[in-house]
Amino acid sequence: MQRLAQRPQSVTDLAAELPISRPAVSQHLRVLKRACLVTDRPVGTRRIYEVDRDGLAALRRELDQLWGATLDNFKRIAEQAEQEQS
Protein backbone atom coordinates (compact mmCIF):
# COMPACT_ATOMS: atom_id res chain seq x y z
CA MET A 1 0.00 0.00 0.00
CA GLN A 2 2.81 2.44 0.78
CA ARG A 3 4.27 2.07 -2.68
CA LEU A 4 0.86 2.59 -4.29
CA ALA A 5 0.25 5.63 -2.09
CA GLN A 6 3.35 7.19 -3.66
CA ARG A 7 2.22 6.54 -7.24
CA PRO A 8 0.09 4.14 -9.29
CA GLN A 9 2.06 1.08 -10.43
CA SER A 10 1.75 -2.17 -12.33
CA VAL A 11 2.26 -5.60 -10.79
CA THR A 12 5.60 -5.83 -12.59
CA ASP A 13 6.76 -2.49 -11.16
CA LEU A 14 5.70 -3.49 -7.65
CA ALA A 15 7.28 -6.95 -7.86
CA ALA A 16 10.58 -5.45 -9.04
CA GLU A 17 10.82 -3.53 -5.76
CA LEU A 18 9.75 -6.38 -3.46
CA PRO A 19 11.32 -9.68 -2.37
CA ILE A 20 8.27 -11.67 -3.53
CA SER A 21 7.14 -13.03 -6.89
CA ARG A 22 4.78 -11.34 -9.35
CA PRO A 23 2.07 -13.96 -8.69
CA ALA A 24 2.33 -13.23 -4.95
CA VAL A 25 2.03 -9.48 -5.62
CA SER A 26 -1.02 -10.18 -7.80
CA GLN A 27 -2.63 -12.20 -5.01
CA HIS A 28 -2.06 -9.39 -2.51
CA LEU A 29 -3.51 -6.84 -4.91
CA ARG A 30 -6.55 -9.05 -5.54
CA VAL A 31 -7.23 -9.14 -1.78
CA LEU A 32 -6.73 -5.37 -1.46
CA LYS A 33 -9.06 -4.82 -4.43
CA ARG A 34 -11.79 -7.00 -2.86
CA ALA A 35 -11.40 -4.96 0.32
CA CYS A 36 -11.89 -1.76 -1.74
CA LEU A 37 -8.44 -0.48 -0.77
CA VAL A 38 -7.00 -0.40 -4.31
CA THR A 39 -8.43 0.08 -7.78
CA ASP A 40 -7.02 -0.91 -11.14
CA ARG A 41 -7.33 0.25 -14.72
CA PRO A 42 -6.12 -1.22 -17.97
CA VAL A 43 -3.24 0.47 -19.79
CA GLY A 44 -2.39 -1.52 -22.87
CA THR A 45 -1.76 -5.10 -21.77
CA ARG A 46 -1.02 -4.13 -18.15
CA ARG A 47 -3.20 -3.15 -15.24
CA ILE A 48 -2.19 -0.15 -13.19
CA TYR A 49 -3.08 -0.25 -9.50
CA GLU A 50 -3.58 2.69 -7.19
CA VAL A 51 -4.91 3.37 -3.73
CA ASP A 52 -8.69 3.70 -3.52
CA ARG A 53 -8.90 6.88 -1.45
CA ASP A 54 -12.60 6.35 -0.63
CA GLY A 55 -12.00 2.80 0.56
CA LEU A 56 -9.02 3.89 2.62
CA ALA A 57 -11.05 6.70 4.18
CA ALA A 58 -13.80 4.22 5.11
CA LEU A 59 -11.24 1.92 6.72
CA ARG A 60 -9.78 4.87 8.61
CA ARG A 61 -13.23 5.80 9.98
CA GLU A 62 -13.81 2.22 11.13
CA LEU A 63 -10.40 2.04 12.81
CA ASP A 64 -10.91 5.41 14.47
CA GLN A 65 -14.27 4.24 15.80
CA LEU A 66 -12.79 0.97 17.03
CA TRP A 67 -9.84 2.75 18.64
CA GLY A 68 -12.17 5.26 20.31
CA ALA A 69 -14.32 2.48 21.75
CA THR A 70 -11.21 0.64 22.94
CA LEU A 71 -9.87 3.74 24.70
CA ASP A 72 -13.26 4.42 26.30
CA ASN A 73 -13.36 0.85 27.57
CA PHE A 74 -9.79 1.09 28.89
CA LYS A 75 -10.65 4.33 30.71
CA ARG A 76 -13.72 2.72 32.28
CA ILE A 77 -11.72 -0.30 33.48
CA ALA A 78 -8.90 1.90 34.84
CA GLU A 79 -11.37 4.12 36.72
CA GLN A 80 -13.15 1.06 38.10
CA ALA A 81 -9.83 -0.42 39.31
CA GLU A 82 -8.93 2.91 40.91
CA GLN A 83 -12.26 3.02 42.76
CA GLU A 84 -11.77 -0.55 44.01
CA GLN A 85 -8.34 0.37 45.40
CA SER A 86 -9.72 3.40 47.28
Provide the residue-wise pLDDT of the chain in tens; the chain has 86 residues: 889 999 999 999 999 999 999 999 999 999 999 999 999 999 999 999 999 999 999 999 999 999 999 999 999 999 999 888 87
pLDDT of 24: 96
pLDDT of 35: 96
- pTM of the complete model: 0.75
Query: Side-chain half-sphere of 42: how many Cα atoms within 13 Å?
Result: 2
Q: Which of 30, 33, 40 is nearest to 9 (CA)?
A: 40
